[in-house]
Structure 1
Amino acid sequence: MSEVEKKTDLATVISDLEKVVKEKPENVVARHHLGLVYRQVGRIEDAIFQLEKALELDNQSMESLINLGAIYFDQGDTKKALELNEQALAISPKMAEAHVNIGLIRQHQNDVAEAIKSYSLAIQIDPKLITAWINLTSAYTMNEEDAKAVEAAREAVTLEPDSAMARNNLAVALYFKGDYAESKQNLEKAKELGYSIDSRFVDALNEKLG
């Protein structure tokens, strides 16, 4: 599907959902999905409005809480994003995605120890959640726990061998652990998979390899 076709298709989806919401303002699902599509096309204020309306109608809607939290995080409002994810956990303490989101917020706030705790909780709940392993790798690297970073990165690659981000994270973790040859192998694989490689990292790695 071309970009023009995608835009036309999204415009149709928006039009259809707007019609449903106008006819049935109490339709939580329609408001939720309209908010998601608005976000996708960059209509952030409209997205926030619809998701907040969905929550007014159903304050137990975890998906609306999570997605609204993601928007606020993108907007730099980590306090609001944290509040929304904590509300989701109050409803469902074993919602792994919310634990990952809280970890990401804590990591963004440079509270790496708490971020690691949140990612670890998410993994306990869902050991196959690759975003938790990817983010845990990054947090361990920030915390200079290189062996643990490599271990987490290997888990991510095992789960999704063709994840470009997982491969890049493994390359970085291996670099800091001193395994330069294997680091380069994974960096090349990440590049093959479409990851935008940091040229400074390439230079540093090549220097180590001589």
Structure 2
Amino acid sequence: MEQIKQQISEIQDELQESPKDAQLLNELGVGHHMLGEYDKAVEAYQQSLAQDPDNFKVHFNLGNTFYEQKNIEKAVNHYLNALDIQPDYVPALNNLADVYELAEDEERALELFEYITKIKPEDPMGYFNLGNFHLRCNNTAEAGRCYKLAIEQDPEFYEAYNNIGFILKHLQEYEEAISYFEQCLEIAPDYEPAKRDLAACKEALADA
């Protein structure tokens, strides 16, 4: 926390010399956001955009701050602004999909999560996030398919192994679930969710 405050102070000193430096103003906004000083972050981002209105990352940052302030409409507007400038900017697509899901507009959320996998077919995170969406919607078969696609792109994606194991555990397919939890823990030995569920599956088999 003190380090962030020190960085903000240094940025403010630099802004004394270059008060219209869009990058410095963006960095100031990031600092205030990290401290939870959202009004100050909004002000800094808006000043940055006044100098560089086509900076999609600043629109994205501003959208995140408005989201933290529960100002969903403004958050969506700035995510959309970011995407107007950079249509394949995945962080904005992801956050916009999250907002639509929270608003119970599952159709639009799904459309965005699927779109990410189409524009970034080699990015395992897109399939993982799509899988998580399907899991939240209790679409377990489709969720499992997406996690397997994530693993195809990145065989070290231990969270995807864990999530497949989680699905199998709840289907009471304990032996197969154990296999996936063990694969997860081979990659990430300290991953607590997999350790807990692995133990639970072994216990369930012992009690069968």
Tell me the TM-score range normalised by the shorter chain. 0.7 to 0.9
Distance 1:156 1:90, change over 3 A: same
Match of 2:101 in 1: 107
Which residue identity lines up with residue 55 of structure 2 in the other structure? Answer: S
The alignment status of 1:50 with 2:44, answered yes or no, reads yes
Q: Deviations over 1:17-43 (max 9, x none)?
A: 111223222111011112112222333
Distance 1:139 1:58, change over 3 A: same
Match of 2:87 in 1: 93
User: Structure 1 CA distance, aligned partners of 2:43 and 2:124?
Assistant: 31
Counterpart secondary structure, 1:94: coil
Distance 1:64 1:193, change over 3 A: farther
Aligned Cα root-mean-square deviation (Å): 3.1
- Bigger radius of gyration, 1 or 2? 2
Partners of 2:100 and 2:109 within 8 A in 1 = yes
**Stretches of structure 2 lacking an aligned partner (at least 5 in a row):** none
More displaced, 49-58 or 167-176?
167-176
Which residue identity lines up with residue 40 of structure 1 in the other structure? Answer: M
Partners of 1:65 and 1:84 within 8 A in 2 = yes
Match of 1:132 in 2: 126
With structure 1 as the length reference, what TM-score do the two structures score? 0.77
With structure 2 as the length reference, what TM-score do the two structures score? 0.78
**Stretches of structure 1 lacking an aligned partner (at least 5 in a row):** 1-6
Alignment partner for residue 27 of structure 1, among 16, 21, 26?
Answer: 21
Partners of 2:25 and 2:48 within 8 A in 1 = yes
Kindly state the Cα deviation for residue 167 of structure 1 after the two structures are TM-superposed. Answer: 4.2
Counterpart secondary structure, 1:42: coil
Number of matched residues? 203
Q: Deviations over 1:64-121 (max 9, x none)?
A: 1112212222333332221111111112222232222211111222222221210111
Match of 1:123 in 2: 117
Q: Deviations over 1:115-169 (max 9, x none)?
A: 1210111111112434422221121123332221012112334445555644443
More displaced, 120-129 or 164-173?
164-173
